[in-house]
Amino acid sequence: PPTASPIPDFPTDMAPRPTSLALLSAFSAIFSVEGWSTTTNASPTSRRMAPTGPIHMSADPAASAGGGGTLLVSHLSAIGTPSCRLILASQSPRRREILDMMGLGGRYAHTPSPLDESALQKELAGKEGITPETYARTLAERKAEALGLVMVEGGETEVEGDADTTFILGSDTIVDLDGHILEKPTDKAEAVGMISRLSGRWHKVHTGVALYRVCESVSGGDGRLSLVSSFTDTARVKFADLSERDVVAYVSTGEPMDKAGSYGIQGVGGQLVESMEGDFFSVMGLPMHRLSRELARAVSSLK
């Protein structure tokens, strides 16, 4: 059988390890890497990567990125410091899990919002012209704002410590079936009814997100509260055709009882989902990518 061409010599300051060369070869058919060209002989086994010019790599990846990073990953070290802290106005384990996955584990605090959520839901439901998207965003804003007001007025919270700037993150997720909002079920019978309505159909999941900022007052007062940004991220989800036994069995797991629309896509309820469009994490409780951009923008504004 034909043998591979010998690997060319590399300058000592950039000699790749064999594993690195293999990875470059694997990706060479898809990506064009500056400073490299792919040489192919008669046999597939003879494909190799040859340097066509010097490659300059910075010892600090961030230094070579140019400008400020647009994602939170470029600013993680700024959060959880005396200058900047983040508080999640929620006790949701799913939202905490998403923040942890974003690299924020140990860098933020969490405490429930003092907002009377049920009263606000009734208030919004009684207003005409409130779309599901606006409904979710408004709930998120009010959750974060309520906690921020307590902090500004010097009230007690479960969060200890101070920082020059505190960002408060509020969020709310709802299920929208043809314009009808499906909140958390009040009992198992309602959960069965919700899932039965969703069976075999497309629906939308809206997650509202709001970020407030509490700053120390320059005059020595309690501080200032301001809205940094708020938005609603929407995903579309399609349930498979579910049998009555499937629906009852799922509800009997107890998982639906604390979730909007009576299901959790990240758990047992993921089996009900046939397909989806949009951000999976938005359905889970926080749109990771969009939140990453908003947090990066907020942290960058402090510099």
Catalytic sites, residue numbers:
172
Neighbours of 234 (CB within 10 A): 18
For residue 270, give the DSSP letter. Answer: G
For 211, the 3-state DSSP assignment is: strand
Which H or E element spans position 207? strand 202-215
How many whole angstroms separate alpha carbon 215 and alpha carbon 83? 10
Please report where in the chains the tokens 């020059």 appear, as a residue: 164
Backbone angles phi, psi at 294, to 5 degrees: -65, -40
Bridge partner list, 212? 168, 227
Contacts for 57 with CB less than 8 Å, ≥ 6 apart: 14, 64
List the beta bridge partners of residue 231. Answer: 209
Going from the C-alpha of 286 to that of each of 78, 130, 231, 278, the distances in angstroms are 21, 22, 11, 12
Whole-angstrom distance, CA of residue 31 vs CA of residue 114: 51
CA-CA distance, 12 to 18, in Å (whole number)? Answer: 14
d(CA 5, CA 230): 57
